[in-house]
Amino acid sequence: MREKVLNILKNKRTWLSAVCGSLLFATFYLASGSNKLSSTQMTSAPNTEDIHVVFNVDDNYAKFLSVTMISILQNTDEHLHFHILTDGLSETSLNKLNELKKIKPFELDIIKIDDKRIAQIPDYFRDTINSVATYRLLASSLLPNLDKVIYLDVDLVLLGDIKEYWQIDVNDYYLAAAVDPLNEKEGMLKNLPLPDKALYFNSGVMILNLKKWRQDDVEKKFFENTAKYAGVLLLPDQDLLNLTLLPQVKYLDKRYNFMIESEDLEKEHEFLTIHWAGFFKPWEKKDGIMAEYFWGYAEYSPFYPEIAQMYYSATPHHY
Ligand SMILES: [Mn+2]
C-alpha cells in the first residue's frame, strides 16, 4: 500500500515540476523581455553566489528541518548555505543533516545560542517569548556577516526554486513577507496597534534585510516593544515583527507562502511553498490537506524512520 501511495506522489510531483518549470521560464522570459531593470539585476547576480537561508530549531525539530532542506535542495541548481540558530543539536541530528549533502552539496553553520548570549537579552523579552522560535529576532547580530538572508519555518516545503526568493529586492525594506490569513478573521488582530492600512504579515517565510536591521538597531526595538506591548501579544514573535517593522515591509504574493488554511487549493500548481501554518501539521495526519507533499520529501530524509514512527505511534493507522 505504501508503495502505491508513494508512486502516486511521485507522478504528481513530476507533473508538478513540469508545470512549475514552464511557469518559471515564463516569469523569467517576461521579466527579461519587458523590463530592462530586472534583466540588469539578473545578470548582476551571478549564479555562483551562495544563497543564504536561516532556520531556528531545537533538536526535536531537526527531523522536520531535514524535510524542508530536502525540498530546497531537490528544486534548485543554486549552491546553498544554511545557518541554524539553535539551543543545541545532538551529534546524531547533526550527522543526519550532513547526510543530506548526498542529495546536493551545501554549507551548514550551526549557531548555538549560549548562556552568555542569553544573559545579554533583557529579562522581559526572555520571559515573554521564551522559545527557540525567537532566535530569528536576533538574526542581525547572530549573522553579523550577512546583509540578506531568507528565513524559513520548518512546517513548510518548497515546490519551486529557492532562487525566486533570493532574487527579491528588499533594499528599501526591513523584509519581504506574505499577508497572513488572520487579516480576514474578524477581531483576531484588534488589540494590535498596527500602523494604518498596514496588513499583518506571516513570519514563516521572510526575506530579511539584515543590513537595514543593523543600521536601525531593530533588535533594540524588539526588546523595547516587548516591554511596551507584552499585554497584547498573542503570537509573540510574529506580533513583534509586525509591530516593529511595519510599514517598511514588502508584501509577497501568496504563491511564495501558501498557507493551507487560506483557500484556493485548485491553484496548487502555482505555489512555490506549502506552509502548514495552522494547528494541523502534516506529520500528524497523512491524509490531511496537501500532506502528501510533506511525505513525498520526507521519504528521502535520514530521519524518515522516526518521523514515520512518530506518526504511527500518535495515530491509529489504516493500512
Ligand atoms: Mn509555520
Residue 101 falls within a domain, yes or no?
yes
Domain residues for the domain of 291 are 48-314
pLDDT at residue 8 tops 60: no
pLDDT at residue 131 tops 80: no
Residue 13's Cβ-count burial label (10 Å; 0-12, 13-18, 19+) is middle
Q: Report how far residue 111's alpha carbon sits from residue 53's, in angstroms, rounded to the nearest whole number.
A: 13
Full 3-state SS string of 30-63: HHHHHCHHHHHHHHHCCCCCCEEEEEECCHHHHH
CA 18 to centroid of ligand 1, rounded, Å = 27
CA 254 to centroid of ligand 1, rounded, Å = 14
**Total domains in the fold of the chain:** 1
Ion ligand 1 — residues with CB under 5 Å? 153, 155, 204, 277
Q: Which CATH number goes with the domain that contains 172?
A: 3.90.550.10
Residue 124 falls within a domain, yes or no?
yes
Neighbours of 204 (CB within 10 A): 21
CA 281 to centroid of ligand 1, rounded, Å = 9
> Cell 540558530 belongs to which residue?
85
CA 269 to centroid of ligand 1, rounded, Å = 20
Average pLDDT, integer, range 82-92? 96
Average pLDDT, integer, range 230-253? 92
Q: Report how far residue 279's alpha carbon sits from residue 285's, in angstroms, rounded to the nearest whole number.
A: 12
Residue 189 falls within a domain, yes or no?
yes
pLDDT at residue 211 tops 90: yes
Parallel, antiparallel or unpaired: strands 175-179 and 201-209 = antiparallel
Residue 7 falls within a domain, yes or no?
no
* Residue type (1 letter), 68: T
CA 274 to centroid of ligand 1, rounded, Å = 10
| Separation of CA 66 from chain center | 13
| Cα→Cα distances 39→33, 36, 43, 120, 181, Å | 8, 5, 6, 44, 33
**What's the whole-model pTM score?**
0.82
pLDDT at residue 105 tops 60: yes
- Residues contacting residue 73 through CB under 8 Å, at least 6 positions apart: 80, 100, 103, 104, 106
CA 283 to centroid of ligand 1, rounded, Å = 13
Average pLDDT, integer, range 307-318? 69
Residue 35 falls within a domain, yes or no?
no
Query: What digits encode the pLDDT tens for the residues 11-66?
Result: 444 444 444 444 444 433 333 333 333 333 344 444 458 999 999 999 999 999 99
Q: Report how far residue 145's alpha carbon sits from residue 51's, in angstroms, rounded to the nearest whole number.
A: 14
Query: What digits encode the pLDDT tens for the residues 146-183?
Result: 999 999 999 999 999 999 999 999 999 999 999 998 88
pLDDT at residue 89 tops 80: yes
Residue 15 falls within a domain, yes or no?
no
Cell of 213: 536591521
Give the rounded percent of residues in the chain with a pLDDT score beyond 90: 57
Residue 10 falls within a domain, yes or no?
no
Residue 287 falls within a domain, yes or no?
yes
CA 135 to centroid of ligand 1, rounded, Å = 15
